[in-house]
Amino acid sequence: MRLYSTLTRRLEDLPAPPGPIRMYVCGPTVYARAHVGNARPFVLGMWLRAWLRERGYDVTFVHNITDINDKIYDAAAAQGRASDELARDATQWYLEDTGLFGLGRPDLLPKATESVPQIVAFIEKLVNSGHAYAADGDVYFSVASWPAYGELSRQRVDQMEPEETNALKRAPQDFALWKATKPGEDTSWPSPWGPGRPGWHIECSVMAEDAFGPVFEIHGGGLDLVFPHHENELAQSRALGHEFARVWMHNGMLEFTGEKMAKSVGNVVTIREAIEEWGRETVLLLFLGSHWRKPMEFSEETLQQAKAQLQSFRDFLVDVPRGQEPLEWERLEAALDDDFNTPAALALFHEWRANGRGGDLREGLRVFGLGSLAERVSAPPDVVELAEQRLQARAARDWAESDRLRDVIASRGWLVRDTPGGYQLLSG
């Protein structure tokens, strides 16, 4: 299996199965309902985990929650709310909304607010090794102390856009690791430099290393995170002698085109709105048809096309007997093991449909959470939510709650079956 890495600008081989594959994908900053663009790294991560498991890998997928950030303070103040309450609510919304995809949950969802002591300890090491300096209650990473700075985004330091200008910094490209509490900020944590809070970049270095240690196989996120977020994560961790992530996967952004999407206010389409309007299967099929590295056109037209393709699979599968053996599975392996080429997989699915290969198609769609296309009816959102709650209960080993939810789901006419990637909902 090989994947394109932004760090080396080429395809990199993953170790042979079972690995392990430790994968960290930057999660949302929680202050509002998540934008449908935020769904792309989530869906890519869940699909990649499902495929790697299919291929015999031992995979751990960590997806963090950034619940300390300027945007949260700003949004909370504008609503006259406490920032920690808003962050708590928005975290729950993100879990519910991404749960609507029916792909299950990442293995671990660490929160910045639960990682502050580790973050302070990490910053102290950077200060003690001369890579960071304190200034008036803030702490900054010194870009001049790390000559490799710029290796991920391939920029020269003197040509970089400074993140924010600030008289306390020694150089404009230096970035904050710790910020002293400012008036109007209603949360703070103690530190050797006074009360304050961590900067965004250090949160991710620490949450990733907390989960995995100083080296792990895959780091993901949107293309917009290459600089400065991931450049800074890499510098902080490597400055301490940690290898950090080996393969850096950056997914392309969503492009909102077409009259209707362009008109929607500020192009804000939330995950929930997209799924409520189009259904989870249509949105997933649209994602499937775009290579993860390329931009993805999110428009009325592309969604209509995805919906039509979906119907063609459903129409075909409804008449195909169950229990057919997949016979051309190695063709799917060839497509997905080569840089996780989902458009090639989708083209293969259409070929299987045209050639009457129902067994292959059913199994292939199942990898991507689309096994429901072989069902006569797909589960409504409230049943998917119950199944997600049950998955959470199982992760917490609360078997009584899991059984109770199974019964509630059954009372709505659905059977929940556990699968390696999460669960499947069968009508009946």
The reply to whether 367 sits near Zn ion by the rule CB under 5 A is no
Pick the closer one to Zn ion by CB: 126 or 204. 204
**Which 3 state secondary structure label does DSSP give 94?**
helix
Count of residues interacting with Zn ion (CB under 5 A): 2
Q: What would the x/- binding string for Zn ion be over residues 128 to 157, using CB under 5 A? A: ------------------------------
Going by C-beta distance under 8 Å and a sequence separation of 6 or more, which residues neighbour residue 104?
Answer: 46, 391, 421, 422, 423
204 binds Zn ion (CB under 5 A): yes
The reply on whether position 218 binds Zn ion by CB under 5 A is no
Q: Which stretch binds Zn ion (CB under 5 A): 25-33, 189-197, 336-344, 399-407?
A: 25-33
Q: DSSP readout, 122-143?
A: HHHHHHHTTSEEEETTEEEE-G
Look up residue 356 and give its two tokens: 């009457």
Note whether 235 binds Zn ion by CB under 5 A: no
202 binds Zn ion (CB under 5 A): no
* Interface stretch with Zn ion, choices 203-211, 243-251, 349-357, 409-417 (CB under 5 A): 203-211
Which residue number, 29 or 389, has a Cβ lying nearer to Zn ion? Answer: 29
Q: Angle, to 10 degrees, between the axis of helix 83-99 and the axis of helix 70-79?
A: 110
When asked if residue 21 is in the footprint of Zn ion (CB under 5 A), the reply is no
The residue among 26 and 103 lying less far from Zn ion, judged by its C-beta, is 26
Residues in the chain: 428
Nearest approach in angstroms of CB 26 to Zn ion is 3
Determine how β-strand 244-251 pairs with β-strand 215-222: parallel
Beta carbon of residue 24, minimum distance to Zn ion (angstroms, whole number):
8
235/145 Cα distance (integer angstroms): 10
- Extract the tokens encoding 404: 């109770």
Minimum distance of Zn ion from residue 116's CB (angstroms): 16
Binding Zn ion (rule: CB under 5 A), the pick from 7, 25, 26, 383 is: 26
Provide the β-strand partners of residue 424.
417
What's the rounded Cα separation, in Å, for the pair 230 and 227?
6
Rounded Cα distance between 201 and 244, Å, is: 14
Three-state DSSP state, 243: coil
CB 283 within 8 A of CB 275: yes
Strand partners, 2: 13, 338
Which of 22/406 has CB closer to Zn ion?
22
245 forms part of the interface with Zn ion (CB under 5 A): no
Q: How far is the CB of 229 from Zn ion (least distance, A)?
A: 6
What is the closest distance, in whole angstroms, from the C-beta atom of residue 418 to Zn ion in the complex? Answer: 31
Q: How far is the CB of 119 from Zn ion (least distance, A)?
A: 13
234 binds Zn ion (CB under 5 A): no
Closest CB to Zn ion among residues 98, 402: 98
Q: Residue 204 Cβ, how far from Zn ion at the closest point, in Å?
A: 3
Bridge partners (DSSP) of residue 256 are 298
CB of 139 to Zn ion, least distance (A): 19
CB nearer Zn ion, residue 6 or residue 372: 6
Give me Rg for the CA atoms of the chain: 23
Nearer to Zn ion, 19 or 228 (CB): 228
Give the SS3 label for residue 419.
Answer: strand
- Say how many C-beta atoms besides its own lie within 10 A of residue 203's C-beta: 30
Told to check if 206 binds Zn ion by CB under 5 A, we report no
Site string for Zn ion, 151-190 (x = CB under 5 A): ----------------------------------------
Helix (H, G, I), strand (E, B) or coil at 308: helix
CA angle at 197 for the pair 194 and 203, rounded to the nearest 5°:
135
Q: Closest separation between CB of residue 219 and Zn ion, Å?
A: 9
Q: Which of 6, 4, 3 is nearest to 151 (CA)?
A: 6
| Closer residue to Zn ion (CB): 150 or 220 | 220
- Which residues bind to Zn ion, rule: CB under 5 A? 26, 204
